[in-house]
Amino acid sequence: MNITDIEIENILENEQKRQRDSAVFIASENYASSSVRKYTSSILTNKYAEGYPGQRYYAGCEFADQAENLAIERGKKIFESEHINVQPHSGSQANMAAYISLLNPGDRILSLSLDHGGHLSHGHNVNFSGKIYEIHNYFLDEETEMLDFDSIQKIAEEIKPKLIICGFSAYSRVINFEKFRKIADSVNALMMADIAHIAGLIVAKQHPSPVNIADIITSTTHKTLRGPRGGIAIIKNSLSKKYDRGIFPAVQGGPIMNNVIAKAVAFKEASSEGFVQYSKDIITNSKLLCGFFKDKQLRIVSDDTENHLMLIDTRSVNLSGAEAEEKLNSVGIIVNKNAIPFDPNPPRITSGIRIGTPAITTRKISENDLLQIGELIFQTLTTSAKKSTYIKQEVNKIMNKLPLP
Ligand code: DSN
């Protein structure tokens, strides 16, 4: 049966146009390849495969086993790891399984505060993590707005956490995983690295890897890694059985096998030379844009970027983060409002925007066009709404030249 659902077709057509015409700077978004999208919609969506390859709770899993084994093999290769679980439906579920398998309810976790760049699932009080575990936070240094390892060490000694989490959603600097390991060892804690944002940079060796340093590494597959929407976890052998049981049966039922096979496709793409160049270009573009904004006297949190994202303190253009997000959205430039360290505004308002280059780099934007968009961002933030029709046309003109994958 091949029925066209007109209402859905209309929505998708509009979304396709929006994705094509806008300049996407959401640091956690990307454009998956047409292969990844094709295999995400494969017939494996029809198959239940609770369990793991060779040990399923349903018959008929021989090809599901082959698919998952291939994803595992390719995932281990690109991360150079002993063990990978490719079943988490998302980054949050990968994290949930880590806590369930390694901790008891009420155990202490030490993580970066959400408003300093952490993540909801690292212990925020509105999230399951903050409700089930005793959460303590570390914070960025007020002056440098970077990780302050002396202070993290001090808090770790005071509270003696069972788990220390590093890996962030809005941190623009390189993460020194070795230093976290030393702190974790000194207080006998486990260490978890959530590399959702930087997984692609790590695979392409453009950021140090926490593999063989952290006890457990969780990630999404759709950000810099440019795969299907989903999660993974990389675990050292000694904890792998515990973690696997944490995913199934503790947190999830059947894996989304069509996504598992698309993860395998993405891992293959990420092992190519082209992906290394892509990852280098993400950082080059991020630095280029950051330098441009600094020349325009916009304040950049921690004064620079070393990865795929930067945070702009929108107080430097007399706007809240929410106002800046809305102004940019109205001209087809898509960013998200984001709390900055020591932000006086609440999370729905904030004093910053987060700008990331993974998606625009996938569109293969030239340096000139990127700087032109930088200028349009600056104009949008600093001039009246009267210019917005002109700016939107200019954004569309640039983006329309760049094909969608
Ligand atoms: N929502 C993702 C981000 O934007 O960073 C994290 O889950």
pLDDT tens figures, 129-163: 999 999 999 999 999 999 999 999 999 999 999 99
Gap from CA of 39 to ligand 1 centroid (Å): 24
pLDDT digits (tens, 9 = 90+) for 38-80: 999 999 999 999 999 999 999 999 999 999 999 999 999 999 9
Element (H, E) at 217: strand 216-220
- Give 316's contacts (C-beta < 8 A, 6+ positions apart): 297, 298, 299
What is the C-alpha to C-alpha distance for residues 265 and 256, in angstroms, rounded to an integer?
15
Cross-sheet strand order for the sheet of 309-313: 299-300, 309-313, 352-356, 336-337
Q: Is the pLDDT of residue 2 over 90?
A: no
Are 182 and 176 spatial neighbours (Cβ–Cβ below 8 Å)?
no
Question: Which residue lies with its CA nearest to atom 5 of ligand 1?
Answer: 169
pLDDT above 70 coverage of the chain, percent: 100
Q: Is the pLDDT of residue 384 over 90?
A: no
- Please tell me which residue in 21, 29, 37, 48 is annotated as part of the active site: 48
Give domain limits for the chain: 37-270, 273-399
Q: Is the pLDDT of residue 385 over 90?
A: no
Half-sphere exposure of 347 (CA within 13 A, CB side): 9
Looking at residue 264, its pLDDT comes to: 98
Are 228 and 248 spatial neighbours (Cβ–Cβ below 8 Å)?
no
299-300/51-52 β-pairing: unpaired
Question: Catalytic residue at 142?
Answer: no
Are 109 and 163 spatial neighbours (Cβ–Cβ below 8 Å)?
yes
Looking at residue 1, its pLDDT comes to: 61
Q: Do domains 37-270 and 273-399 have the same CATH topology?
A: no
Question: Catalytic residue at 361?
Answer: no
As a whole number, the mean pLDDT across the chain is 97
Confidence bin at 387 (pLDDT 50/70/90)? confident
Question: Which residue lies with its CA nearest to atom 6 of ligand 1?
Answer: 169
pLDDT digits (tens, 9 = 90+) for 182-196: 999 999 999 999 999
| CATH 3.90.1150.10 at 273-399, yes or no | yes
Looking at residue 91, its pLDDT comes to: 98
Q: In angstroms, how far is the first alpha carbon of the chain from the final one?
A: 28
pLDDT digits (tens, 9 = 90+) for 284-306: 999 999 999 999 999 999 999 99
- Reading the block at residue 95, the tokens are 């994290």
Report the Cα 355 to chain-centroid distance in Å: 13
Are 359 and 22 spatial neighbours (Cβ–Cβ below 8 Å)?
no
What is the C-alpha to C-alpha distance for residues 134 and 398, in angstroms, rounded to an integer?
49
Does the model's pTM come out above 0.85? yes
Instruction: Specify the fold of 37-270.
Output: Aspartate Aminotransferase; domain 2 (3.40.640)
* 356 conformational bin, left if phi > 0, alpha if psi -120 to 50, beta if neither: beta
Main-chain dihedrals φ then ψ at residue 160, nearest 5 degrees: 50, 65
Question: Catalytic residue at 38?
Answer: no
Per DSSP, the three-state class of 135 is strand
Question: Catalytic residue at 387?
Answer: no
- 201-213 mean pLDDT: 98
Q: What does DSSP assign to residue 117?
A: T
- Reading the block at residue 6, the tokens are 């007109």
Gap from CA of 169 to ligand 1 centroid (Å): 6
- Degrees (nearest 5) of the Cα angle 164, 168, 171? 125
Looking at residue 386, its pLDDT comes to: 77
Are 333 and 395 spatial neighbours (Cβ–Cβ below 8 Å)?
yes
